């Protein structure tokens, strides 16, 4: 498969995997720790969305589905299916040490392992495409323009009925 | 990826460890699922985190090519039992307790 096309598809799949799982498991609803609260309010002051800001703060302060997706891709690249499952376990330990119940990270890593098994074993993708694709996906959310990306995350949170009730 | 055992056998081992860990956790009196709303619950249950811990430790053993007897099936059963016992009795000594709204869990 052409590397560039594979990379673009892998980035889109990784983006959907981590944003949908993180939103469904309540990241935009409330900040898990004080740091996430500060990030959310800081982004709101700069013209962003509060719920999307909590989302950004939460993925910054503890390993959620974003870290799960990235680590599962790396684990799968290095040692196959066992690496993806091992990544889920390590993300779970990291979550518990960061005062987070750990549902989002573990679920994200496990779903990514399943996706990688399907795409790499049967559809001709390479695991490295998903590693690079996830870096691009997280750069789109965290790296380019916070107010615009948090507004998009806030809209997705409203669709999932996970919009924050805090002010 | 090259495995020393077949991929079907590998998936079967994971299935065995999940089933054994959930069964032993239920026997030890843990609930099957956390209470609602599940995404904010800190309850230890049979599915989460017992099955995750069992799968993780089994994945660790398989990734260093340690399969032991019967293509890893005996290892899957033992790890399933031990992870359920760990979550029931030793979990609180290893991982910190849930932080409550007042801040800190030392009160």
Domain-embedded: residue B106: no
Structure tokens at B18: 């999940």
Residues of B in contact with A24 (CB under 8 A): 39
Total residues belonging to chain A: 167
Q: What is the pLDDT of residue B16?
A: 92
Domain-embedded: residue B104: no
Please tell me the total count of domains within chain B. Answer: 1
Distance to chain B for A12, nearest Cα, Å: 25
| Spatial separation of the C-alpha atoms in residues A70 and B82, rounded to whole Å | 29
B39 touches chain A (CB under 8 A): yes
Tens of pLDDT, residues B36-95: 777 777 778 888 888 999 999 999 888 888 888 788 889 999 999 999 999 888 888 887
Per DSSP, the three-state class of B45 is strand
* Domain segments of chain A as ranges: 3-159
Distances (CA, A) of B40 to A12, A73, B18, B34: 28, 26, 23, 9
Residue A62 CB partners (closer than 8 Å, separation 6+) = A32, A33, A94, A95, A98, A99, A100, A105
Sign of CA dihedral A43, A46, A51, A56: negative
Q: What is the pLDDT of residue B105?
A: 45
Domain-embedded: residue B38: no
Partner residues linked to B45 by β-bridges: B49
CB contact under 8 A, A89 and B59: yes
CB contact under 8 A, B60 and A89: yes
Which of A81, A104, A96, A111 minimizes the C-alpha distance to A27? A104
Distance to chain B for A116, nearest Cα, Å: 13
What is the residue range of B74's domain? 7-33+43-94
The total of other beta-carbon atoms located within 10 Å of residue A136's CB is 16
Q: What is the pLDDT of residue B2?
A: 62
- ipTM over 0.90? The verdict is no
Residues of B in contact with A103 (CB under 8 A): 38-39, 48
Q: What is the pLDDT of residue B19?
A: 93
Distance to chain B for A23, nearest Cα, Å: 11
Distances (CA, A) of A99 to A153, B49, B88, B98: 23, 15, 20, 7
| Spatial separation of the C-alpha atoms in residues B69 and B58, rounded to whole Å | 14
Structure tokens at B40: 């904010």
Domain-embedded: residue B89: yes
Minimal-distance CA residue of chain B relative to A98: B96
The single residue listed with the structure tokens 């709303």 is B37
The total of other beta-carbon atoms located within 10 Å of residue A160's CB is 14
Domain-embedded: residue B63: yes
Q: What is the pLDDT of residue A90?
A: 92
Confidence of residue B1 (pLDDT cuts 50, 70, 90): low
Q: What is the pLDDT of residue A132?
A: 92
Distances (CA, A) of B86 to A52, A55, B5, B83, B89: 37, 32, 28, 5, 6
> Which residues of chain A, if any, have pLDDT below 70?
none
B55 touches chain A (CB under 8 A): yes
Task: Please say if the pLDDT value at position B8 is more than 60.
Answer: yes
**What is the 8-class DSSP label of residue B38?**
G
- Single pTM value for the model: 0.87
Q: Find the angle CA(A102)-CA(A103)-CA(A106) to the nearest 5 degrees.
A: 80
């Amino acid at each position: 498969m052409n590397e560039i096309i594979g990379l673009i598809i892998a980035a889109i799949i990784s983006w959907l995997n981590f944003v949908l799982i993180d939103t469904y498991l309540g990241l935009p609803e409330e900040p898990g720790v004080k740091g996430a609260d500060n990030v959310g309010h800081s982004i709101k002051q700069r013209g962003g969305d509060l719920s999307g800001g909590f989302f950004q703060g939460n993925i910054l302060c503890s390993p959620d589905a974003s870290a799960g997706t990235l680590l599962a891709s790396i684990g799968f690249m290095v040692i196959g299916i066992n690496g993806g499952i091992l990544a889920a376990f390590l993300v779970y330990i990291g979550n518990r040490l960061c005062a987070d119940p750990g549902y989002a990270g573990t679920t994200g890593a496990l779903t990514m392992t399943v996706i990688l098994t399907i795409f790499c074993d049967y559809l001709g993708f390479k695991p490295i495409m998903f590693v690079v694709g996830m870096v691009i996906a997280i750069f789109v959310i965290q790296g380019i323009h916070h107010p615009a990306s948090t507004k998009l995350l806030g809209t997705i949170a409203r669709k999932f009925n996970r919009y924050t009730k805090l002010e | 990826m090259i495995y020393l055992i077949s991929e079907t056998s590998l998936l079967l081992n994971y299935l065995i460890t999940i089933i054994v860990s959930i069964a032993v956790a239920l026997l030890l009196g843990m609930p099957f699922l956390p209470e609602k709303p599940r995404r904010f619950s800190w309850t230890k249950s049979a599915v989460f985190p017992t099955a995750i811990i069992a799968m993780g430790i089994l994945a660790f053993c398989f990734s260093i090519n340690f399969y032991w007897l019967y293509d890893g099936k005996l290892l899957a059963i033992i790890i399933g039992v031990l992870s359920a016992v760990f979550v029931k009795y030793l979990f609180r000594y290893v991982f910190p307790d849930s932080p409550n709204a007042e801040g800190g869990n030392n009160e």
